[in-house]
Structure 1
Amino acid sequence: MPTIKEIADATGRGKSTVSRAVKELGLRESGHAKADGARGALIIDAEGASMLADYLTKNVESKPQVDDDETPAQPAIDLDALVGVYKERIEDLKTQIDGLNAQLAAKDEQIKELSMALDNAQNAAKDAQEETRRSHDRVLLMASAGVWERLTGFKGLLESGE
């Protein structure tokens, strides 16, 4: 992760300009810039470096420097360092995407397992409901039986073996 000095060198801006940009973009508050090491050098993550590079290069384009002879001078921008910052950010995003894809695959498997469990539970509930209905029908049949069926033990009203 680059420091303020490295970003300043890469964009052709001063350290104070980069520090001001960090403050204006709110990179410390958003967690993209953190003090690190014994001297407290400000370390900026890939996303923060990308935002800083965009911000600083856009400001360079909109505010050209003028020499004594009134011709705009192009600032010295280290394009390789700028490209490196973007490549680091792209690699970070690819890693995040791979992690999210793995999480998504795990969630898909969990959904599949839960769907099967739900289907099994629904089938068991239907079977229990059917058995309850059959038992209820037998109870109603026995309750409506006449005196003779009651005296003879409900023969013919119950299924065989009961």
Structure 2
Amino acid sequence: MPTIKEIAEATGRGKSTVMRAVKELGLRESGHANPDGARGALIIDAEGASMLADFLTKNVEAKQAAGEGETESSNQPHIDVEAIVSVYRERIDDLKAQIDNLNAQLAIKDNQIKELTCALDNAQDAAKEAQTETRRAHDQVVLMASAGVWERLTGFKGLLGPGSDMDSQ
């Protein structure tokens, strides 16, 4: 990430001009410019550098358009187009890396969703089986409760089904 001095050199502007542009664009408040190191050199991230380069070159273009009729003076700054292009390329590379990272995260989330869907299907199947078994047990209890005196005296033969404890007596 470039410093104020590096951006000033790349755009052919003075450090004070770049600092003024940082203030005008509000890069410190938006988190694009942060002090770093023991001396507190202001470090600009790729997006902030892109905004600064764009801002500074537009100001130069506007001044050149206003002074088209005048002869070019030797004290006008030279704009290093390659430096500006490199700032944009760096920003594009950062964005590509972010996109790759987000795509990887999406793939992980897709796998998690697939696993959770499978677990949910299994839980729903188990719940349906438990509900069916509960319904059968409830129906059998209701049937036994409605049995007459004779069925109660004979031990509920035929009500409990084959293999029950009552049939073996």
Letter in 2 for 1:66: G
1:128 is matched with 130
Identity %: 78
Q: Which residue of 2 aligns with 1:83?
A: 85
Which residue pairs with 1:7 in the alignment?
Answer: 7
Shift of 1:102: 1.3
C-alpha deviation, 1:75, in angstroms? 5.0
Pairing 1:43–2:43 present = yes
Deviates more, 1:30-39 or 1:46-55: 30-39
| Deviation at residue 126 of structure 1 after TM alignment | 0.4
User: How far off is 1:6 after superposition?
Assistant: 1.6
The alignment partner of 1:42 has SS state of strand
TM-score with structure 2 setting the length: 0.87
* Aligned mates of 1:132, 1:153 — CA distance in 2: 23
Query: Unpaired runs of 5+ in structure 1?
Result: none
Deviations 1:110-137 (A, max 9, x none): 1111111111110010000000000010
| Moved >6 Å (runs of 4+) | none
- Distance in 1, matches of 2:152 and 2:138, equals 18
> Could you tell me how far 1:3 is from its partner in structure 2?
1.3
Q: Which residue of structure 2 lines up, in the alignment, with residue 143 of structure 1?
A: 145
Are 1:22 and 2:22 an aligned pair? yes
TM-superposed deviation, 1:142: 0.7
Structure 2 unaligned spans of 5+: 165-169
CA shift, 1:12, in A, is 2.4
> Secondary structure of 2:58's match?
helix
CA distance in 2, matches of 1:58, 1:150: 100
Q: Within 2, Cα distance between the matches of 1:159 and 1:116? A: 36
**What's the CA shift for 1:71?**
4.3
Once the two structures are superposed, what CA deviation does each residue of 1:84-124 show, in whole Å capped at 9, x if it has no partner? 11111111111111111111111111111111111111001
Aligned mates of 1:151, 1:110 — CA distance in 2: 59
Distance 1:135 1:59 in 2: 84
Cross-structure match for 1:66: 67
Q: How far off its partner does 1:61 sit?
A: 2.1
Question: After superposition, what is the alpha-carbon deviation per residue over 1:3-42, rounded to whole angstroms, capped at 9, x for unaligned?
Answer: 1122122222222111011111111122211222333221
User: Which region of structure 1 is more displaced relative to structure 2, 93-102 or 115-124?
Assistant: 93-102
